[in-house]
């Protein structure tokens, strides 16, 4: 968008006459000439002749440039009005371009110095009319001149204000549209991040356990085929569970697929027992201690996903050691602690899993602590209970 020059409001300064101004100037020139020839002025004024028609035509055609050079046009048409009176012609039609030019200045300029110059030029034209007019100027004519001056100045200012208001309204509409687009993009990015976290936590855990069981089964298959077959059965079960989890997550993207318009992707604390069973089936020792907790659906989902990610990390980064899951409630806070026994754990390196756990705790109004502790590695989350 081009910026208007100082003093000009409602758009940039034009560099050439507009089509509307060409039509205005042409129609006014023809109409003024015809009106001058048809309406005889009578004594003491000169009859319309070629010089008089030339004055009227030049004054009308000057309006071609009224939006390009507003102040010079006011000066030109005002001077032509005075020349018209000094030459003895009636003021009947030559005054029209003067009032239109004055209106244009007040509709383009907001600064008072330029408006004052335009008004002064129009005022001098009125003085010239009073000095050189051959007839007797009546009080009625003076009141008409005053009314034309007020209409030109007040009307021009009103046009400028209306144009500025429309431009401000348009700017607000554009700004609001941009804000809506930006909000939609933020919501989309947040939803994508949430789905990425769900996929990482849910499928990452299942795949990690499957890989672990496949490795154990491969190593002992020759010596203990029954255990190998059992491991394959667990892998199949986990694979089916992972496919179900994937299907539930995909229904978030297209919730009308199942005909209900809903997508059930909310595991609860009751599902922790199944998670523990899968880990035990993979050959890792896991203790589960779940007390009665009062959590909203989103909080229960957060507890499950944090536990799932913590257990997945324990399986991925350690080959042994007991895993312990404790979930208790004290007052208005719920404490989740997942501990993996062992020694020499380094400080955690921030990754998608850790980011997801922290974000889930934060969104529920809680906090998360992750790091090595005496005798192992701990993931500790504190979440608020459901509000009654």
Residue 154 domain-assigned (yes or no):
no
pLDDT confidence tier of residue 10, bands split at 50, 70 and 90? very low
Top pLDDT among 225 and 202 is at 225
Q: How many Cβ atoms are within 10 Å of 362's Cβ, its own excluded? A: 12
pLDDT confidence tier of residue 324, bands split at 50, 70 and 90? very high
The number of distinct structural domains making up the chain is 2
Least-confidence region, from 206-210, 271-275, 294-298: 206-210
- Domain end, chosen from 96, 114, 137, is at 137
Residue 354 domain-assigned (yes or no):
yes
- Is residue 127 scored above 80 in pLDDT? yes
For the segment 342-388, what is each residue's pLDDT rounded down to a tens digit? Answer: 887 888 877 777 888 888 888 888 999 998 888 889 999 999 998 76
- What per-residue confidence (pLDDT) applies to 265? 52
279, burial (CB in 10 Å: exposed 0-12, middle 13-18, buried 19+): buried
- Domain end, chosen from 106, 137, 168, is at 137
- What per-residue confidence (pLDDT) applies to 253? 59
- Mean pLDDT of the region 113-118: 95
CA–CA dist 50, 198 (Å, integer): 89
For the segment 46-89, what is each residue's pLDDT rounded down to a tens digit? Answer: 888 899 899 999 999 999 999 999 999 999 999 999 999 999 99
For the segment 175-194, what is each residue's pLDDT rounded down to a tens digit? Answer: 887 887 777 677 667 766 76
For the segment 95-108, what is each residue's pLDDT rounded down to a tens digit? Answer: 999 999 999 999 99
Angle at 359 (CA atoms; ends 267, 334), nearest 5 degrees = 60
Top pLDDT among 265 and 10 is at 265
Residue 42 domain-assigned (yes or no):
yes
Beta strand residue intervals within the chain, DSSP E? 286-290, 323-330, 333-341, 367-373, 376-384
User: Which residue in 151, 190, 106, 124 sits closest to 359, CA to CA?
Assistant: 190
CA–CA dist 296, 268 (Å, integer): 10
- Is residue 335 scored above 90 in pLDDT? yes
Residue 35 domain-assigned (yes or no):
yes
Residue 241 domain-assigned (yes or no):
no
Residue 182 domain-assigned (yes or no):
no
Least-confidence region, from 160-164, 234-238, 274-278, 284-288: 234-238
- What per-residue confidence (pLDDT) applies to 205? 66
Residue 296 domain-assigned (yes or no):
yes
User: Which residue in 328, 299, 301 sits closest to 386, CA to CA?
Assistant: 299
* Domain span at 366: 284-388
- Mean pLDDT of the region 262-284: 76
pLDDT confidence tier of residue 263, bands split at 50, 70 and 90? very low
The model carries a pTM of 0.51
For the segment 129-153, what is each residue's pLDDT rounded down to a tens digit? Answer: 999 988 888 888 889 999 999 999 9
Q: What is the CATH number of the domain that holds 360?
A: 3.30.565.10
- Mean pLDDT of the region 285-304: 89
The H or E element that residue 256 is part of is none
The H or E element that residue 236 is part of is helix 225-253
- What per-residue confidence (pLDDT) applies to 113? 93
- What per-residue confidence (pLDDT) applies to 204? 67
Cβ 77 vs Cβ 97: under 8 Å: yes
Residue 235 domain-assigned (yes or no):
no
Read off the tokens for 304. 């499950």
- What per-residue confidence (pLDDT) applies to 283? 75
Least-confidence region, from 158-172, 212-226, 241-255: 241-255
- Domain end, chosen from 68, 102, 137, is at 137
- What per-residue confidence (pLDDT) applies to 21? 92
- What per-residue confidence (pLDDT) applies to 202? 63
- Is residue 23 scored above 60 in pLDDT? yes
């Amino acid at each position: 968008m081009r910026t208007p020059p100082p003093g000009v409001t409602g758009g940039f300064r034009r560099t050439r006459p507009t089509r509307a101004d060409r039509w205005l100037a042409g129609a006014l020139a023809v109409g003024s000439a015809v009106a001058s020839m048809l309406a005889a002025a009578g004594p003491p004024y000169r009859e319309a002749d070629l010089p008089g028609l030339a004055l009227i035509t030049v004054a009308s055609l000057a309006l071609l440039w009224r939006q390009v050079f507003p102040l010079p046009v006011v000066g030109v048409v005002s001077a032509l009005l005075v020349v018209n009176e000094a030459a003895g012609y009636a003021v009947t039609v030559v005054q029209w371009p003067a009032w239109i030019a004055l209106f244009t200045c007040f509709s383009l300029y907001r600064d008072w110095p330029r408006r004052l110059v335009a008004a002064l030029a129009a005022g001098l034209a009125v003085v010239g009319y009073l000095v050189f007019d051959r007839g007797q100027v009546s009080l009625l004519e003076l009141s008409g001149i005053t009314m034309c001056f007020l209409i030109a100045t007040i009307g021009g200012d009103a046009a400028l204000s209306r144009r500025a208001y429309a431009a401000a309204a348009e700017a607000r509409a554009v700004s609001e549209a941009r804000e809506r687009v930006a909000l939609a993009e933020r919501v989309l990015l947040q939803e994508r991040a949430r789905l990425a976290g769900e996929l990482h936590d849910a499928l990452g855990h299942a795949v990690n356990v499957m890989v672990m069981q496949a490795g154990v089964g491969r190593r002992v298959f020759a010596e203990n085929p029954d255990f190998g077959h059992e491991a394959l059965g667990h892998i199949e079960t986990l694979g089916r569970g992972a496919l179900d989890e994937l299907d539930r997550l995909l229904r978030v993207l297209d919730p009308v697929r199942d005909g209900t318009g809903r997508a059930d992707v909310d595991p609860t604390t009751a599902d922790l027992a199944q998670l523990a069973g899968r880990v035990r089936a993979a050959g890792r020792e896991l203790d589960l201690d779940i007390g009665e907790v009062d959590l909203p659906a989103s909080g229960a989902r957060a507890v499950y996903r944090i536990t799932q990610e913590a257990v997945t990390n324990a399986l991925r980064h350690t080959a042994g050691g007991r895993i312990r899951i404790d979930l208790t409630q004290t007052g208005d806070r719920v404490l989740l602690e997942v501990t993996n026994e062992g020694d020499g754990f380094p400080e955690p390196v921030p990754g998608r899993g850790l980011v997801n756990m922290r974000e889930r705790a934060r969104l529920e109004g809680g906090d998360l602590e992750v790091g090595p502790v005496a005798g192992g590695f701990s993931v500790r989350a504190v979440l608020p209970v459901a509000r009654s």
